[in-house]
C-alpha cells in the first residue's frame, strides 16, 4: 500500500497510452513534445505521477540495447525523478517487457501488478486495465506466454533491428483489425473493466476502493459504480 499525503497545493497525476513510436516517427515526435510540455507543467505541483501503461507502443530491453528514440520524454522523466517527485510506471499490453533499465537510468518505479494507494483517506485501485474482467481468454493466455522467461530469452536472440520492426508491424496490424465499435463505450454489460470493478467490489471483504483508475481503453470515461 502506498500512502500519499495530499499537502496543500500538491496534486497526483495519472496518464497512460501515449504509444510513443506509433504510427510513425513524425507523429510520435509531435506527440512526445506535447507530453514533455505537460510533464514540465505538472512538475511544479506534482507530489506523484502514475503512468498507467502503454507509454511506449513497444519496449524491449536487450542486455545492452533499448529501443531507439524517446530521448525528450526520458530526459523529462529523469528531471522529475531527480527533483524528488516519484514516477510510477505500469507496463501495459504494448510495453509489458519493461525491465530494469528505466528504473536504473530514469529513476522510475516499475509496477508490474495492480496496486492500491491511499490518496489522503481515499483508497484507489490502479492497473493498466488489460486482461481484467471476464472473457478475452486468448489475450490472457498470450500474455502469460509473453511474460515467460522462455519467450523473453527467445525474443532477445533476435537482432533488435528485426525484432523491434516486427513488433511494430504486429501493433499496426492489431490496430487496423480493431472493431470500430470499441471506439465507443460498449455499456456496463459489455465492458470488461466495468464488469471487473463490480465483481471486485462484490467480493471485497476489507475496505473497498473509492476509485478504480485504468488506462487501456483509449476513452475518457468517468463511470459511477
- Pair type for strands 122-126 and 211-213: parallel
pLDDT digits (tens, 9 = 90+) for 36-46: 999 999 999 99
Closest CA to 91 of 137, 60, 49: 60
**pTM of the entire structure?**
0.91
pLDDT digits (tens, 9 = 90+) for 54-65: 999 999 988 888
Closest CA to 68 of 4, 102, 25: 25
* 69-83 core/surface letters (b: 16 or more CB in 10 A; e: else): ebebbbebbbbbbee
pLDDT digits (tens, 9 = 90+) for 178-196: 666 678 888 888 899 999 9
pLDDT digits (tens, 9 = 90+) for 78-131: 999 999 999 999 999 999 999 899 999 999 999 999 999 998 888 999 999 999
Amino acid at each position: 500500500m502506498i500512502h500519499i499525503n495530499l499537502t496543500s497545493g500538491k496534486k497526483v497525476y495519472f496518464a497512460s497510452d501515449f504509444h510513443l513510436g506509433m504510427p510513425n516517427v513524425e507523429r510520435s515526435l509531435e506527440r512526445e513534445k506535447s507530453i514533455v510540455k505537460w510533464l514540465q507543467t505538472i512538475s511544479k505541483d506534482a507530489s506523484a505521477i502514475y503512468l498507467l501503461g502503454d507509454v511506449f507502443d513497444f519496449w524491449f530491453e536487450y542486455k545492452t540495447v533499448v529501443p531507439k528514440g524517446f530521448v525528450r520524454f526520458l530526459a523529462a522523466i529523469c528531471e522529475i525523478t531527480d527533483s524528488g517527485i516519484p514516477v510510477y510506471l505500469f507496463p501495459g499490453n504494448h510495453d509489458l517487457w519493461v525491465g530494469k533499465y528505466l528504473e536504473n537510468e530514469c529513476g522510475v518505479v516499475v509496477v508490474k501488478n495492480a496496486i492500491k494507494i491511499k490518496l489522503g483517506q481515499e483508497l484507489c485501485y490502479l492497473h493498466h486495465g488489460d486482461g481484467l474482467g471476464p472473457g478475452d481468454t486468448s489475450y490472457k493466455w498470450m500474455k502469460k506466454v509473453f511474460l515467460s522467461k522462455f519467450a523473453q530469452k527467445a525474443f532477445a536472440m533476435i537482432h533488435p533491428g528485426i525484432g523491434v520492426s516486427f513488433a511494430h508491424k504486429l501493433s499496426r496490424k492489431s490496430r487496423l483489425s480493431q472493431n470500430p465499435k470499441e471506439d465507443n463505450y460498449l455499456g456496463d454489460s459489455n465492458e470488461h473493466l466495468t464488469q471487473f470493478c463490480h465483481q471486485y467490489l462484490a467480493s471485497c471483504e476489507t475496505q473497498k476502493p473509492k476509485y478504480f483508475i485504468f488506462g487501456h481503453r483509449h476513452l475518457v470515461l468517468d463511470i459511477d459504480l
